Amino acid sequence: MITEARIRQDVKPAGLDFITALRAPAIRKLVDAGELQLSLFDDRDLAEITSLDYPGERLVVCRNPLLAEERARKRRELLAATEEKLRKIQARVRRAKRSLRGRDAIGIAVGKIIDHYKMAKHFDITVTDDDLVIERRSQPIDDEALLDGFYVVRTNVKAELLDSSSVVGAYKGLSNVERAFRSLKTVDIEIRPIHHRRGRRVRAHVLLCMLAYYLEWHMRQALKPILFDDHDKPAADAARASIVAKATRSEAAKRKVNAKRTDDDLPVHSFQSLIADLATFTRNTMAMGDSSFLLYPKLTPIQERTFQLLDVPTGL
C-alpha cells in the first residue's frame, strides 16, 4: 500500500514517519551496488545498512533461514510443475498423429501454464508453427535463490526512538493491522454493506465501526486467558531467539490450546463463540400487577469469569 510514489508525494510532505519494506528488485539493486554484503549474514540474521538511494533513512536487513528453505522448496515445486506441464504440451506438438499445430494454438496452451504458475521469467520458450522448445534459465534462478530468506525493512524513524530489532518488530505488527481489517470487513463487525450515500454519513459509519473495533481490541486483551490467544506473551518473547525468528506460542498457551481448557478447567473460546455464549445472559424486567423487578439468569462459570476479566458488574 505504501509505494515509493506515496512516500515521496504524500507521506514525507505530511511530516509522517513510516515503516515499510523493499521489493525484490530494490534489494537486488542494493546487492549489485555493493551496499548490501550478503556475507554479513554468515553468523547473524539482522544488520542495519544505509544507501545513497535512501538518504536520511535506515535499512534493516533480515535473513530468516526457515523462510529461505520454504521459498527454495516452493520454487523447486513450481519449476518442476511448470516444466512437467510444458513437456506434455511439447509432446503433443512433436507427436506424429493428432499433433498440436500452429503458433497461436501452441502459444495459448503454453500461456495457460505460464499464467497459472507465474514462472515465465525462469524459462526460455520458443514457439513455432510445428515445434516448442523449452529450457530453464539457470542464471535468473540462481540469482533469485541467492536472496532467499532476505527482506529489508525501510524507515525514517530515528534510532533513538526505535532500534533495529524494534523496527522489525513494528513492521511484523502489520499482521495485527491485517487482522483488524479482516475483523472490520467480515469476521466480527462487517463494515459493509454501507447503506449511505452522503459522504459525512459514510465517514460516520466507518468511524463507528472503528470505535467498535477499538472496543473489541480491548476486550480481546482482557479476555486472553479464556481465548485461544496467547495470554503469556512475555514468556513467548523470551523464548524467541531473535526478532527475525518465527514467533512461537508460550508453553501456557500451547497447553491451553491442546487441552481446549484453561488452567482453572474452563472451556477455551474464540472471540466469536464467547460473544455468542454471553448473548444468553439477559436482563429481564418482570412485571406483577403495578410492581416490577429485575431478574437475571444464573451465570455459567465461563460467563462469570468473563465478567471478572472485563471488570464489568452484572447487576446481581
Q: What is the pLDDT of residues 149-178, one digit of tens each?
A: 999 999 999 999 999 999 999 998 888 888
User: pLDDT for 184-206, tens place per residue?
Assistant: 877 777 777 777 788 898 888 88
Residues 116 and 219 in one domain: no
| Residue 250 counted as domain residue | yes
Residues 52 and 107 in one domain: no
What is the model's pLDDT at position 316?
A: 53
For residue 93, the enclosing domain spans: 67-143
Residues 120 and 154 in one domain: no
| Residue 306 counted as domain residue | no
| Residue 38 counted as domain residue | yes
Residue position matching grid coordinates 524459462: 123
Residues 36 and 181 in one domain: no
Residues 240 and 103 in one domain: no
| Residue 26 counted as domain residue | yes
Closest CA to 270 of 191, 177, 209, 183: 183
The secondary structure of the chain as a DSSP string is ---HHHIIIIITTTT---EEE--HHHHHHHHHTTSS-GGGGGS-SEEEE--TTSTT-EEEEEE-HHHHHHHHHHHHHHHHHHHHHHHHHHHHHHSSSS----HHHHHHHHHHHHHHH--GGGEEEEE-SS-EEEEE-HHHHHHHHHTTTEEEEEE---TTT--HHHHHHHHHTHHHHHHHHHIIIIISS--------SHHHHHHHHHHHHHHHHHHHHHHHHHGGGBSS-S-HHHHHHT-S-TTSPP---HHHHHHHHHTB-TTS-B-B-HHHHHHHHTT---EEEEETTEEEEE-PPPPHHHHHHHHHHT-----
Length of the chain: 316
Q: In what order do the strands lie in the sheet with 150-155?
A: 19-21, 150-155, 58-63, 46-49
- Percent of the chain scored above 70 by pLDDT? 99
Residues 191 and 79 in one domain: no
Give the chain's residues under pLDDT 70. 1, 314-316
What is the model's pLDDT at position 1?
A: 59
Residue 119, C-alpha cell as written in the block? 514462472
- The whole model's pTM is what? 0.73
What is the model's pLDDT at position 43?
A: 86
| Residue 299 counted as domain residue | no
The number of domains in the chain is 3
Residue position matching grid coordinates 513510516: 18
Closest CA to 251 of 240, 267, 242: 240
| Residue 284 counted as domain residue | no
